[in-house]
């Protein structure tokens, strides 16, 4: 730590938190908040969410006996204060760096992280599983799940609540209601929670009821509890949570330390046979004025100046792929009223906020509900609309059944704009787009494209507008393009046709996606060794350019495919074609370069691709090895 703190300097684990008095917890919370702000200003990362749960984090570790009591955080990006208090204080400035702390909860990182999470809405399900395990093992440890109001827009949360309420298993769910996820949450749940919060009489009656109940003798407390339930129902109009079998407590000021301590202590000690829901009202970005005033509450930040709040800006003038996608789609939408945009709680991350500014009535944010988003898009497609579902690769995984059942089988022309394809850097393996090539290319009648640069992305969007008989997808990486000029929206690609970038001899390098620039660097290095290779930008994983693949397979000694994806993707489809055509029975050597069969930890993207063996140097090594090899199929460790 760079600063000196009265209490935090002496706190390394939750047991140390219990050594100070309740009145001192407020000062500790302020110190944790300051330390978090200072650390994230150096590392970048998720700021606003963590600032909003500082008091809650301190209170939870004060009341409960973690790690024996299991504390599960939904998504995990709000856990920086939790990490500071659970033995990771001295490493907090390694957040999201290579070999540093994860930006999310991670089981292998700490025993205080009982469940890893970086995608939303998993906390209640996992907490129920742990609580049931405790019951089966006759353990009395508490299980606490913390979930945000944004995550409550996902169906999985309701599935879990439905199961938990019916199970009659004690667990505590804390609803952290800050009226924000990454952007403003959407849907009926937001309106419902706002209605509860706006019923101000509920606060005063609850305080009154509490006083009345506390004055009753124990033999009347059960009846008093029933009276409280009746009054709560009469005042608040009943609650969804009560109906689902939860004992509902709230709303409570999530920044009032004394109130938190009291409520958490009562929830811990109450002899209630079933789940408890504690509804907190908090403020995302709390305690840092620049975050409080920001529209997104400083959800995710780059390095910044603590005193001014100014974040570091990219020094590149090259546009990001996300903006290239958004601006191109806007141009098409201006000419075609059937184009609509869909995103699942990620309007800014996918660029759909740009689309929404121009066409607010044609932009739909479904909340954190990717399954619904995909089937919603399918419904639009049945009526002749042209839906563009802009979803990160890693989040589209959550809707795979809908992609298969609702889109692919019916051959509906939903267009998937797959952002964050490939390795993504600081967010690590949970957010890497490693599998979409495989899980989409395996589907019959699906068009799967990958942009090798920002100009190709524009051409793929242009092409997708006219694909009206089947689903299509185009994938593109996080970050900036490579600096090429952008074509007009009239330039299109023939479906299933690749392009020859360089003609050489002996080895043909068949690229699918954004490794093309690395291929070109490898080519220049090989030229210095007197080796001139053929480079092809495949463009399509499905349908394959079979004529071009046949041509290079018969004209070269070796074919090497490269892609930013897992086994079973583009290279596997090429290998299947070569096998079907008996081309591998000849003297042709075939190799594939893919992401390795392991999850790659967070680091700078260039280093991650180096570790994955997909940088220019590894491409060059692969080509030289292939030329020297006399074995057609070679196992690569």
H or E element, residue 382: helix 370-382
Assess if residue 243 is contained within a domain. yes
In a domain? residue 374:
yes
Within this chain, do residues 409 and 273 fall inside the same structural domain, yes or no? Answer: no
Q: How high is the pLDDT of residue 386? A: 98
Q: Are residues 144 and 276 in the same domain?
A: yes
The residues, ordered by sequence, that sit 6+ positions from 461 with a Cβ below 8 Å of its Cβ are 325, 328, 329, 332, 417, 474, 489
Q: Is the model's pLDDT at 414 over the cut of 50?
A: yes
Q: Are 368 and 181 in contact (CB under 8 A)?
A: yes
- pLDDT tier at 293, thresholds 50, 70, 90: confident
Inside any domain, residue 29: yes
User: 528 lies in a domain?
Assistant: yes
Catalytic residue among 35, 55, 370, 620: 370
**Is residue 628 helix, strand or coil?**
helix
Last residue of a domain, one of 475, 490, 507: 475
> How do strand 70-73 and strand 172-177 relate by DSSP bridges?
unpaired
Q: What percent of the chain has pLDDT over 70?
A: 89
**pLDDT tens-digit profile of 85-120?**
999 999 999 999 999 999 999 999 999 999 999 999
Question: Do 247 and 276 contact (CB within 8 A), yes or no?
Answer: yes
Is the residue at 618 inside a domain?
yes
* Average pLDDT of the segment spanning 358-386: 97
Give the residue from 171, 295, 173, 183 showing the smallest Cα distance to 240: 173
Q: What are phi and psi of 500, to 5 degrees?
A: -85, 125
**Cα 411 from chain centroid (whole Å):** 28
Residue 473 has pLDDT above 80, yes or no: yes
Pairing of strands 499-502, 447-450: unpaired
Helix (H) or strand (E) holding 292: helix 289-293
Q: pLDDT: is 519 or 223 the higher one?
A: 519
Q: Is the pLDDT of residue 178 over 90?
A: no
pLDDT band for 480, please (50, 70, 90 cuts): very high
Checking if the pLDDT of 164 tops 90, the result is: yes
β-sheet bridge partners, residue 143: 70
| 392 C-beta neighbours (distance < 10 Å), count | 26
Asked if the model's pLDDT at residue 371 lies above 90, the reply is: yes
- Between 338 and 151, residue with greater pLDDT: 338
Give me the helix-helix angle, 54-63 and 257-269, nearest 10°. Answer: 40
Residue 383 main-chain phi, psi, to 5 deg: -100, 20
With residue 161 as reference, give the H or E element that holds it: helix 155-167
* DSSP β-bridge partners for residue 474: 417, 449
Q: What percent of the chain has pLDDT over 90?
A: 81
Domains identified in the chain, total number: 3
Q: Which of 419, 443, 475 is the last residue of a domain?
A: 475
Q: Residue 61's pLDDT band (boundaries 50, 70, 90)?
A: very high
The H or E element containing residue 419 is: strand 415-419
In the numeric block, the tokens 């204060």 are attached to: 81
> What are the φ/ψ torsions at residue 9 (nearest 5 degrees)?
-60, -30
580 lies in a domain?
yes
Pick the catalytic residue: 88, 284, 478, 589?
284
Domain co-membership, 345 together with 288: no
Predicted structure pTM score: 0.88
The band of 295, judged by pLDDT with boundaries at 50, 70 and 90, is confident
Task: Return d(Cα 283, Cα 254) in angstroms, integer.
Answer: 8
The mean per-residue pLDDT over the stretch 587-601 comes to 95
Question: Same structural domain for residues 601 and 521?
Answer: yes
**Tokens in use for 151?**
């995550």
- The residue from 89, 106, 398, 470 that is catalytic is 398
Catalytic-residue membership of 190: no
Structural domain ending residue among the three candidates 259, 294, 329: 294
- Known catalytic residue: 398? yes
pLDDT band at 596 (very low <50, low <70, confident <90, very high): very high
The average pLDDT across 237-253 equals 81
If asked whether residues 448 and 326 sit together in one domain, one would say yes
Write phi, then psi, for 372 (nearest 5 degrees): -60, -40
Q: Torsion angle of alpha carbons 596, 601, 605, 608, nearest 10°? A: -40
| pLDDT(200) > 70 | no
The per-residue pLDDT for 241 is 86
* Neighbouring-strand partners of residue 276: 172, 247
Is the same domain home to 448 and 592? no
Nearest to 53 by CA among 72, 81, 21: 81
User: Residue 369 and residue 151: Cα distance in Å, rounded?
Assistant: 9
189/40 same-domain check: yes
| Helix, strand or coil, per DSSP, at residue 276 | strand
What pLDDT, in 10s, does the model give residues 483-528?
Answer: 999 999 999 999 999 999 999 999 999 999 999 999 999 999 999 9
Distance from C-alpha of 81 to C-alpha of 56, rounded to nearest angstrom: 10
Give the residue from 194, 123, 181 showing the smallest Cα distance to 149: 181
Q: Domain check: are 466 and 506 in the same one?
A: no
Greater confidence (632 vs 263) lies with 263
**pLDDT of 553 over the 50 cut:** yes
Whether residue 150 is contained in a domain is answered as yes
Residue 556 and residue 441 share a domain: no
E strands present in 499-575:
499-502, 507-512, 534-537, 540-542, 558-563
Same domain, 105 and 243: yes
Span of 149-163, 169-183, 350-364 with lowest mean pLDDT: 169-183
Give the integer Cα–Cα distance in Å for 365 and 376: 11
- 158 phi and psi, to 5 degrees? -75, -35
Q: Residue 209's pLDDT is what?
A: 45
* Structural domain range at position 380: 321-475
Quickly state the pLDDT bin for 191 (edges 50, 70, 90). low
> Quick one: 520 and 594 in the same domain?
yes
Beta strands per DSSP E along 490-539: 499-502, 507-512, 534-537
Residue 310 lies in a domain: no
The per-residue pLDDT for range 251-288, each reduced to its tens digit, is: 899 999 999 999 999 999 988 789 999 999 999 999 99
Backbone angles phi, psi at 209, to 5 degrees: -60, -40
CA distance 47 to 40: 7
Q: Kindly state the tokens that stand for 355.
A: 């689309």
Q: How far is CA 42 from CA 28, 97, 106, 437, in A?
A: 22, 11, 22, 35
Residue 194, pLDDT score? 53
Provide the pLDDT for residue 192.
Answer: 56
Pair 99, 232 in one domain = yes
Say whether pLDDT at 199 is over 60.
Answer: no
Q: What is the CATH number of the domain that holds 207?
A: 3.40.50.970
Residue 214 has pLDDT above 70, yes or no: no
């Amino acid at each position: 730590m760079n600063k000196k703190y009265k209490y935090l300097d002496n706190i390394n684990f939750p047991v140390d938190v219990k050594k100070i008095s309740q009145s001192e917890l407020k000062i500790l919370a302020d110190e944790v908040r300051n330390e978090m702000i200072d650390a994230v200003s150096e590392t970048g990362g998720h700021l606003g969410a963590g600032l909003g749960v500082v008091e809650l984090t301190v209170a939870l570790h004060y009341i409960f006996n973690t790690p024996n009591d299991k504390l599960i955080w939904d998504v995990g990006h709000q856990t920086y204060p939790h990490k500071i208090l659970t033995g990771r204080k001295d490493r907090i400035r390694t957040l999201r760096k290579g070999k540093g702390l994860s930006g999310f909860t991670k089981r292998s990182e700490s025993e205080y992280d009982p469940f890893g999470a970086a995608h939303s809405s998993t906390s209640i399900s996992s907490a129920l599983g742990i609580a049931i395990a405790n019951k089966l093992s006759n353990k009395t440890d508490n299980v606490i799940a913390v979930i945000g109001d944004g995550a409550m827009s996902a169906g999985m949360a309701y599935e879990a609540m439905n199961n938990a309420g019916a199970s009659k298993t004690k667990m505590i769910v804390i609803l952290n209601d800050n009226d924000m996820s990454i952007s403003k949450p959407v849907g009926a749940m937001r309106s419902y929670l706002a209605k509860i919060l706006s019923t101000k009489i509920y606060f005063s009656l609850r305080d009154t009821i509490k006083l009345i109940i506390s004055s009753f003798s124990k033999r009347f407390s059960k009846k008093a509890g029933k009276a409280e339930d009746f009054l709560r129902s009469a005042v608040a109009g009943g609650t969804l949570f009560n109906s689902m079998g939860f004992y509902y407590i709230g709303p409570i000021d999530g920044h009032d330390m004394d109130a938190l301590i009291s409520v958490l202590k009562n929830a811990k000690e109450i002899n209630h046979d079933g789940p408890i829901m504690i509804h907190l009202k908090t403020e995302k970005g709390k305690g840092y004025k620049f975050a409080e005033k920001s529209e997104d509450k400083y959800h995710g930040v780059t390095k910044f100046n603590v005193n001014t709040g100014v974040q570091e800006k990219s020094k590149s003038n090259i546009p990001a792929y996300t903006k290239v996608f958004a601006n191109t789609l806007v141009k098409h939408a201006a000419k075609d009223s059937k184009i609509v945009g869909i995103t699942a709680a990620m309007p800014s991350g996918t660029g759909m906020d740009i689309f929404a500014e121009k066409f607010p009535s044609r932009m739909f944010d479904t909340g954190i509900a990717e399954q619904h988003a995909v089937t919603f898009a399918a419904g639009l497609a049945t009526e002749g609309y042209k839906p563009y579902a802009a979803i990160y690769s890693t989040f589209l995984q959550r809707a795979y059944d809908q992609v298969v059942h609702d889109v692919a089988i019916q051959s509906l022309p939903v267009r998937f704009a797959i952002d964050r394809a490939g390795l993504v850097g600081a967010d690590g393996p949970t957010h890497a787009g490693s599998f979409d090539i495989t899980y989409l290319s395996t589907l019959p009648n699906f068009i799967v494209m990958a942009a090798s640069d920002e100009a190709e992305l524009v051409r793929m969007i242009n092409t997708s507008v006219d694909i009206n008989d089947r689903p299509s997808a185009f994938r593109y990486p996080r970050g900036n393009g490579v600096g090429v000029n952008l074509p007009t929206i009239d330039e299109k690609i023939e479906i299933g046709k690749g392009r020859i970038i360089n003609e050489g001899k002996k080895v043909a390098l068949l690229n699918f996606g954004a490794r093309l620039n690395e291929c070109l660097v490898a080519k220049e290095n090989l030229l210095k060794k007197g080796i001139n290779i053929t480079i092809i930008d495949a463009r399509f994983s499905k349908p394959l350019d079979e004529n071009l693949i046949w041509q290079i397979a018969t004209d070269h000694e070796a074919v090497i495919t490269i892609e930013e994806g897992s086994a079973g993707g583009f290279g596997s489809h090429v290998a299947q074609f070569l096998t079907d055509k008996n081309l591998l029975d000849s003297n042709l050597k075939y190799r594939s370069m893919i992401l390795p069969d392991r999850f790659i930890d967070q680091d700078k993207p260039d280093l991650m691709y180096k570790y994955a063996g997909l940088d220019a140097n590894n491409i060059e090594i692969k080509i030289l090895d292939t030329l020297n090899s006399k074995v057609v199929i070679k196992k690569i460790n």
